[in-house]
A and B are shown apart, each in its own frame.
Chain A
Amino acid sequence: MNEMIQETLVGWSRSQFALTACYHWLFVPLTLGLAVVMAVMESIYVKTQDEFWKKAAQFWQKIFGINFAIGVATGIILEFEFGTNWSNYSWFVGDIFGAPLAIEGILAFFMEATFIAVMFFGWNKVSQRFHLASTWLTGLGATISAWWILVANTWMQHPVGMAFNPDTVRNEMVDFWAVAFQPMAITKFFHTVSSGWMTGAVFVVGVSCWYLLRGRNKRFALASIRVASVVGLVGILTVMFTGDRAGIQIAQNQPMKLAAAEGLEHGGAGAPFSIVPGIEVPKALSILATHDTEGVVPGIQDLLNGYTDNEGNVHLSADEKIRRGRQAVNAFAEYRKTVNKDSVTAIQARQTFEENQAYFGYGHIEKKEDLVPNITIVYWAFRIMIGFGCLLTLLLCLTLWFERRGTLAQKRWMQHWGVWSIPMVFLAGQAGWVVAEVGRQPWAIQDLMPVGVAVSGISASSVQVTFCLFLALFTILLIAEIRIMCKAIKNFRMED
């Protein structure tokens, strides 16, 4: 019974977090991407002094403004949830993330409040160059504000640079550099930000294609497509390069996530990459995960039963990790019980704890099957992200090609494709987060803290209430966003 209540609580708390994060992630990538497109257009204006580019930049700034206004502060809800729904997690990670996140938030807020105001109110009031700098800095401010939250997320995937203190029950930072600049964090930052550039670029291409379909604003639409396709292609190249790095890094640090993303039950050397069930490219997974055709990629069963990797290192079975994890949990409990009473037992307990600390989280895992994330979700999310990524790359190459040859305005099938790419790019980004987060399950912090321990001991019904409140609030915001944006897009006229 207790277990069922706990499962319901964890389920609702996770659903609520996923809901708010997914909604938040509709606004953020568009902000990041539109910022670049509008800044490039304004740069062209400042260089050429052609009023056409000024008007074009101003229109995309307006769309940026709508998205920014509606999306701003939706991320703060995630902070609320950390304190209310994930209080054990928040305490356990210590103050490390709270303070930098707050500083970053304040810095980004002031940067954005200043530069956005100059961007919107400053036309004809400040010099062209100062205005242009403000437009670029608006985008930079938004990008900076993504940094530390992604560092925190990376730490949950691969906790480094911290030491757990059993007295305070908190992690303490021992190596700031390792936390802030571990390779996974850098990869994640660029993969995420460049996926945002792609989102903004594809959005601009899509809206411009809509104008072409309607036979309106032709010059503006074609010029926007030209700029956005280039921005999008720079974005997708960065996305692919960093996506490849991310694959190697999760193969090393979160092999279960990779095995689930591939639905790979039994791995080994020369592992194939599954395109869809039943169609495989031989050895491709080994190449992706290890950059070696014969590299060993463990499957789900290998990870559960133990295996030997490329370097000959033996990896423990899940049962052994669970056994050591329970030793760590018991030793931790013993230490807490005896620390003020019996120093000899406490010292021994602490030593046992430290010896098995790497498996601490496994001590809470009931059975080894619980260590496998939902394969169907992770597998298909991975395919949606990569599949749509490939389709979008083709789209951007073709729109640029046809635009350069002067035939895009006649290609209605391309224009339809462009419009349909808008939902595609958003889905790709959402799917990326699903891979990263569902793929990490059952962990809140990889190997250290499962979600069942991270969750606050509050009633599931109160989480259900807030879930419904958020669903309503965010849906209203989204409808408002779409309506206001559609109106702005429909009403816009620019003579050719």
Chain B
Amino acid sequence: MPVKRFSISQTVIILIITLFSVACLLPFLMVITGSLATENDIINNGYSLFPRHITLVSYKILLLGSNRIIDAYGISLLVTVVGTLLSVLVNSLGGYVMARRSFKYRNILSVYVIITMLFSGGLVPWYIVCVNYLHLKDTILAMILPPLAGAFNMFLIRNFLLSIPEDIYESAKMDGASEYRIYYQLILPLSKPVLATVGLFVALGYWNDWFLGLMFVDKQEYQPLQLLLRTLVSNVEFLRSSSNAIDMQRVAAQLPSESIKMALTVVTIGPIVFLYPFLQRYFVQGLMIGAVKG
């Protein structure tokens, strides 16, 4: 008898969760079908899940028609690869030093790092430091350097390394290994799992970033993919909120078409969806390490 009541509540729960899951997937499907639809279909029938005609024309235009999109893809790729490699390197070095129990001042360094996680000077002084003192305006470095050192990532690495017994360092030193060699030949291979987690965190951050581009990069050649997407969308939004209808129509004719916008969205999220199985596993793992404090 209780079994039957169970299955009613199970059905309700399954229904709710299914609805929510479908809602999570729907926008993805909409951009995919939107990118495959013809321009006329979108204008006449709106975005729909089942386009009447399927065409690859917008992808063709994307690949052949515009250098800006290829350039933006290159910039995003460059920033992501270089940023991730550098970030994993410097954060693992920092985390390693904070994890060395025999190192007298490691707690002072930990406090130095934690403070940056809690307190922030805000946008304005940060912007002035980057532009006036570091001259990062309109450089690719502006999209790589500012988020390079991350307190959260450093602590993930530190917490992981704390599980390595101190004896290992002692015996390595006894054998005459320098600190650099201990780090490079002993610690780096041992910390592969946590470095993979941090690497994916960081890579996702760089790939999805557009804020740094928005703040520092006015040069069109250096615009990353996400920012280009934003520029295309905001033009339309801007037109919607501007009142002058004649102006609107004149500019609207020069705008890239709706389906191209959808195709650009698809290629922007493509790598993430492709890597999603890895991302998901390592993210959950990282969250769990992060939740258990050392």
A and B from one assembly? no
Chain B residues in the interface with A (C-beta under 8 A)? none
Q: Which residues of A contact B (CB under 8 A)?
A: none
